[in-house]
Amino acid sequence: MNFVALPLLEGEQTFLQQYSWLLYVLMFVAIIYFMMIRPNKKRFDDQRRVMDSLAPGARVMLSSGIIGTIRALGDAQLVVELAPGVEVTALKQVVVKVLGADEEEFEYSDSESIAAPDEEKPSED
């Protein structure tokens, strides 16, 4: 065994023993960053991208699961048409995503009728 290296090993052990708390603090900070700060920042950036892509005529899904078409757009609010003639005002923050044409399951038009055509109403006597 080399007697010259023995004091170096003792010095390294005392250095690690003295500053081991620093290693634990750095590991704790790294865990907090990767578990909390980074995902929240990514979620915020995604929401910012969605808000920047809003435009009148776009189909959007709100946080409640309601899908509609943007009719008017303001600084903090937007008007969403849920059905022909049914409009609601909502905050921009409730828009979860902008839907593409491939994400639409149903197609609606103003000319479609919900009631059965040519049904006779019973007469009231």
For the four alpha carbons of 86, 89, 92 and 93, in that order, the dihedral sign comes to negative
Query: How much is the average pLDDT of 90-116?
Result: 75
Query: How much is the average pLDDT of 16-38?
Result: 87
Residue-averaged pLDDT of the chain: 81
Say if residues 69 and 55 touch (Cβ distance below 8 Å): no
Question: How far lies 49's CA from each of 39, 92, 95, 101, 116, in Å?
Answer: 15, 12, 11, 19, 43
pLDDT tens digits, residue range 42-95? 989 998 898 888 999 999 999 999 999 999 999 999 999 999 999 999 999 999
Q: Which of 5-14, 31-40, 81-90 has the lowest mean pLDDT?
A: 5-14
Q: Which residues pair with 80 in a beta bridge?
A: 70, 88
Work out the pLDDT band at 16, boundaries 50, 70, 90. Answer: confident
How far apart are alpha carbons 119 and 101 in whole angstroms? 34
